[in-house]
Structure 1
């Protein structure tokens, strides 16, 4: 495809490199569609074929990415006179090439095949509360990812190497510092909230909420906040996720007839992911400038829409009449709905149903467990017990089943170790980005109340989406907000919001 990065004076080696990379990118997006289908629509017994299909595509992508020609082109461009966007594309391709070149093709195939086989095993284990069904697949994933990390850099912490697959341009040390700042802020705040005698309207959404009507409501919410149905769709899956690119980006959610807020917030969360993908430059499809800037930034978009918009008071003033249109028996006021959507739970075990504050302790638990697994400090067989102990220590509750404990997330079935920290990093980044948007957009709160989301879309597109991978993570944040990536805005945001709610 024609790209903005390619110009008439671009070196021939650059144009050839971009052409080769586009083919690599297309294989990746094709794999994404097959993976989406496996989780949403594929017949239950389709796994043996799908695992072979995905492993073949992964192998072909790896083969093209590590081809000697790619290495030669990158060497030729080492000292070339390139524009800023061209240099950024070369930087990103070089990083991918060097990491892939360090890993044998056979290992890439085995990881992909294991992931496809592990997914139905995880689904069965979760449904039947049987960790042993999933245990051998998790064991194999841990072994394979240790081997993968060792090929890339045998002298470094393997977990840090894996973390860089999801956040390559933010140091692991900085990530740990931000997570530590979150713990220091949130633990005493959660304790104070639990000791508070604030009388929030926590029972506003009690009762039974028909799943089909919830789906109709979710579709209207997506339309209200600006989802492009010509380039997207909504489906259900066992674990909500988003998959796609700037031409075709699909979201999934799930429905619990006793918890309509969970479906609403999950749907809005996935919308944030989709909006990022759909906002990437169309003319750059297949190039690094047409790809999202890794997972911390991606999570900042989903958490911004879920929390700073979807859990805000002005949004519930907009949404409450829409809920009543679908559920006439609902009689909550906007304030009561806002309070119920932002209550801090004392007994919630499920990450995706967690409130905005305790959510990060759910992340810390997963981070510590997967880090210890990869480092060899924890055996897979001990995961359920360690998980339950950490929940009791950090959140004061203990899972009674593994289905509501260590089997609740899909990530380890894919072998995605190093992914979880980006959820909290993204939440922190969301607060910083929203603060900057609020400064620049006149009466943003009023616009949300009136359902006018165009200015926020435009701000995010201009400051985040349109750049693809042109800037490193911190550089992107600096350009958008005028300062380095910090936790201060998140801290101020939660202290103000929950201080008002709970009278702290």
Structure 2
């Protein structure tokens, strides 16, 4: 039924006002989560779990309130301007999913995930999956129940995946992951058989010096510290709003490139968040377009900028000054792009083997959600898949199935967006390179403004106005494709390792 046009403005304003209140609560909850991972004393968990659970419940109730449904009904078929129609589309999608989930389940999931964080930390520190397994089992059960409420007829993993990537279906994601595996495994095999001897860093790099350098890196990349901050966390992340987008890093005194790569990665996330339109805060038009696009921004800055020859031509004097080193830019470039034979940790993985880490997690998550894998079997299956895909076998659970924080958050369905984002990063960077005169030379000179502007104009400023596919089409002129990433990987690493392919 078409809307009564006289009621449309009021219904739209009322809808956006209530959605805004729910958004503000979610953002407050996000700050509580940041504090729990960065600053909260260890004993704070019981109260924090209750606090976050209560906020999640109130936010959920606002989003599924009967008034929201009535306002959406009034707006059904209304002739709205494009941006307003997009905001209604996104709110309707959330309402239709969330209204099927009981509030008490939302509150329980929030409380269990808050409680799970220190349990995961202790299990990892003590190398003991068995102490974390009951929590994982409970979360798997809760997330299955959650998915069943939304769509009992669908694959539960597909339902959960849609929380993180609403407009790329799981079949498309799985097809891209399969294509990555088919292409990258033989490329990695060729690299491991190559005679190339790439430069490696050696020595001790004090944490305080690393901190100073990564802060200097953020300043060089034009991170806005008036709307952000740099802290440390066991598992680095970025979170926030366009007014307060924070980044975290961690430091290994034997590997300064890790902290540098992490920081540039999280900068990419924060640059996207800071680039969202400020006047649309509290509306879908002021929110990111899903985790595939979000991850594309971090991977673009980390890999296509931070691991490029042009970047190291610009950055190696700063690196040498920080550590009293004498690297050439080519040596630094080689060290930053090693393809490792024995890497066990996803966040320390090189640009190619990283995706095999993602595929492994994707397969385990799907098996857990489908009931084909018991939680207690995860360590053995994890280790077998590591050996099959990466040629290494973890000796401990801490360097195996306990290394990631995501399951303590209940984030089942999240991992595929990492690889999808890497694929999209290559496509976006190719489009930016076509549009920006002498982009390589600008990066070599430490001039990042034009790339910032291109990304803001083509990605950040749109919020959720477009669906993922439409945003990609708008930005690049093409549909989403893995071609750019695979061509980039073959070219870059074929050159580095002198492959004849």
Query: TM-score scaled to structure 2, two decimals?
Result: 0.98
Counterpart among 457, 460, 465 of residue 462 in structure 1? 457
Alpha-carbon separation, structure 2, partners of 1:414 and 1:494: 32
Q: Which residue of 2 aligns with 1:103?
A: 101
Q: Which residue of 1 aligns with 2:300?
A: 304
Q: Which residue of 2 aligns with 1:259?
A: 255
Compute the displacement of 1:318 (Å): 1.0
Q: Which residue of 2 aligns with 1:5?
A: none
Pair 1:217 & 2:213 matched: yes
For the residue of structure 2 that corresponds to 1:206, the secondary structure is coil
Alpha-carbon separation, structure 1, partners of 2:15 and 2:366: 36
Counterpart among 361, 364, 375 of residue 380 in structure 1? 375
Pair 1:412 & 2:411 matched: no
For the residue of structure 2 that corresponds to 1:243, the secondary structure is strand
Q: Which residue of 2 aligns with 1:51?
A: 49
Q: Which residue of 2 aligns with 1:362?
A: 357
Deviating more after overlay: 419-428 vs 316-325 = 316-325
- Write the deviation string for residues 389-434 of structure 1: whole angstroms up to 9, x where unpaired: 0000111100000000000000000000000000000000000000
Alpha-carbon separation, structure 2, partners of 1:299 and 1:196: 31
Q: Which residue of 1 aligns with 2:479?
A: 484
Alpha-carbon separation, structure 2, partners of 1:385 and 1:259: 29
After superposition, where does 1:433-444 map in structure 2 within 5 Å? 433-444=428-439
Counterpart among 302, 309, 314 of residue 310 in structure 2? 314
Runs of 4+ in 1 over 4 A off after TM superposition: none
Q: Which residue of 1 aligns with 2:3?
A: none
Compute the displacement of 1:331 (Å): 1.7
After superposition, where does 1:169-184 map in structure 2 within 5 Å? 169-184=167-182
Compute the displacement of 1:88 (Å): 0.5
- Write the deviation string for residues 248-282 of structure 1: whole angstroms up to 9, x where unpaired: 01000100001110100000000000000000000
For the residue of structure 1 that corresponds to 2:248, the secondary structure is strand
Counterpart among 394, 399, 404 of residue 394 in structure 2? 399
Q: Which residue of 1 aligns with 2:322?
A: 326
- Write the deviation string for residues 72-104 of structure 1: whole angstroms up to 9, x where unpaired: 000110011111111100010001111110000
Q: Which residue of 2 aligns with 1:3?
A: none
Alpha-carbon separation, structure 2, partners of 1:367 and 1:259: 28
Alpha-carbon separation, structure 2, partners of 1:404 and 1:104: 37
Alpha-carbon separation, structure 1, partners of 2:143 and 2:7: 42
- Write the deviation string for residues 184-216 of structure 1: whole angstroms up to 9, x where unpaired: 110110011011111211x2x211110011000
Alignment gaps of 5+ in structure 2: 1-5
Compute the displacement of 1:173 (Å): 1.0
Counterpart among 182, 185, 192 of residue 183 in structure 2? 185
Q: Which residue of 2 aligns with 1:4?
A: none
Compute the displacement of 1:180 (Å): 1.2
For the residue of structure 1 that corresponds to 2:246, the secondary structure is strand
Query: TM-score scaled to structure 1, two decimals?
Result: 0.97
Alpha-carbon separation, structure 1, partners of 2:366 and 2:458: 33
Compute the displacement of 1:243 (Å): 0.8
Compute the displacement of 1:461 (Å): 0.1
Alpha-carbon separation, structure 2, partners of 1:134 and 1:155: 30
For the residue of structure 2 that corresponds to 1:11, the secondary structure is helix
How many pairs were matched up?
Answer: 494
Compute the displacement of 1:121 (Å): 0.4
Q: Which residue of 1 aligns with 2:245?
A: 249
Pair 1:112 & 2:110 matched: yes
Compute the displacement of 1:10 (Å): 6.2
Compute the displacement of 1:176 (Å): 1.0
Are the equivalent residues in 1 in contact too, given 2:7–2:74 (CA < 8 A)?
no
Alpha-carbon separation, structure 1, partners of 2:291 and 2:64: 24
Alpha-carbon separation, structure 2, partners of 1:264 and 1:235: 14
Q: Which residue of 2 aligns with 1:148?
A: 146
Pair 1:67 & 2:65 matched: yes
Deviating more after overlay: 191-200 vs 453-462 = 191-200
- Write the deviation string for residues 212-257 of structure 1: whole angstroms up to 9, x where unpaired: 1100000000000110010000000010000101000100010000
CA RMSD of aligned residues (A): 1.0
Counterpart among 114, 126, 129 of residue 128 in structure 1? 126
For the residue of structure 1 that corresponds to 2:78, the secondary structure is coil
Pair 1:424 & 2:428 matched: no
Alignment gaps of 5+ in structure 1: 1-7
Alpha-carbon separation, structure 2, partners of 1:458 and 1:9: 39
Compute the displacement of 1:50 (Å): 0.2
Pair 1:283 & 2:283 matched: no
For the residue of structure 2 that corresponds to 1:249, the secondary structure is strand
Alpha-carbon separation, structure 2, partners of 1:125 and 1:351: 18
Q: Which residue of 2 aligns with 1:199?
A: 197
Alpha-carbon separation, structure 1, partners of 2:127 and 2:93: 41
Q: Which residue of 1 aligns with 2:444?
A: 449
